[in-house]
Amino acid sequence: MISLDKGEKVLEFLEDRRFSEARLELEAGRPYQGQQQDQAALVMAIITAGQGQFQEALDLAACTLPFVSLDRPLCALVHWIGAVAQDGLGRTEDALYWCSLAADQASSPSARPLQVGILCCWVKLLAKTGQSGQAAARMHQALRQARLPHELFHAHLTAARLWWHSDLKKAQFHLVLAQNLAKTPERLVLVADVPNTPRPNLLTGKQGRVTITLLAGLEVEVAGVRVSAARSPRAALLLAYLVQNGGEAISEIAEQILPMDTAIKSLDKAKSDRAARVRQHLTQARRLLGDPAGVMCKGSRLWLGQQYDWESDLRLAVLSGTFDGGQVLPVLACPWLEELSFTLNSPS
């Protein structure tokens, strides 16, 4: 997307938020001609925004936009820069509009490297304007799309900040994942910016508590009564997933907790079959709980009943830093646990 002389070094500095060094490296490559001149202007806009010079960043983005309007990745980048600059100038509603345009442009496969970053920016702006439902939806989208270590870091850090004051359990889980990916001093500074709120007592022992065990066996404990989940392991996995991720659409849950299909099917047939399998696991989960209202389903969306205090040994293992992908039984293999294992065990 950016093909400047010494461009890789400039982008490396930007990723580490070393804006002064990025500026020096960018200026060392001058003069730029043609398309490289437009790209250099956008990189300078990113640098100036990072240094708090928001009006200059906005001016650079606005001046460059007419020249890149037919290039979807660069057009998405221009609108993203504009959104950051508008927000820095205190124009949050304008920033939201620019960010929505950036997200629309980034839906193109050619703009794949920008998608997670733009979604994280959108989440922050939506949360700032009180649109918590939309913010949560975009946050789930960013977490699903994140694949590279830097995308995972920023997605989990944004999630931790989003949920810190409304769902501390969920926020702490994502913070641990972000901390594990904070391999540079610049990222460690960002992780340290999250409020240092004391952890709550996770073992309250109150009536109505449900604990899902995946790593040290397969069972569900409801108010002190244990039930084996050996015959319905993916039902227990479904419960553990909802403990961590909250309510989600059945189609999204299917992508995360079911193993990859090997049979060749049409797209519609595959989606229908996978949704049916999740509903089957839902029925099994309700039986394990002994309560049809333990997991609610409405409009093809699942969420856990509020009458229980939910916990899983998987979440606790992540929080304590003791989770290892080797603890997961082969019968539970799924994209969610594979990505979680990668995130926690990625090399320094």
Cβ atoms of 5 and 29 closer than 8 Å: yes
Instruction: Please give the Cα distance from 22 to 9 (Å, whole number).
Output: 8
- Single-letter code of the amino acid located at 135: A
Q: Look over the chain and give the mean of its residue pLDDT values, rounded to a whole number.
A: 86
User: Which of 1-15, 194-208, 252-266, 315-329 is the most confident on average?
Assistant: 315-329
Higher pLDDT pick, 42 / 221: 221
The predicted pLDDT at position 117 comes to 93
Q: pLDDT by residue (tens digit) across 64-94?
A: 998 888 889 889 999 999 999 999 999 999 9
CB of 297 within 8 A of CB of 253? no
Give pLDDT tens digits for 191-212. 887 765 544 444 444 458 899 9
- What percent of the chain is modeled with pLDDT above 90? 49
Phi, psi (deg, nearest 5) at residue 302: -110, 145
Q: Does the pLDDT of residue 108 top 90, yes or no?
A: no
Q: What is the mean pLDDT of residues 174-180?
A: 92
| For range 94-116, the mean pLDDT | 92
Mean pLDDT of 251-257: 93
Q: Are 313 and 300 in contact (CB under 8 A)?
A: no
Residue 1, pLDDT above cutoff 50 = yes
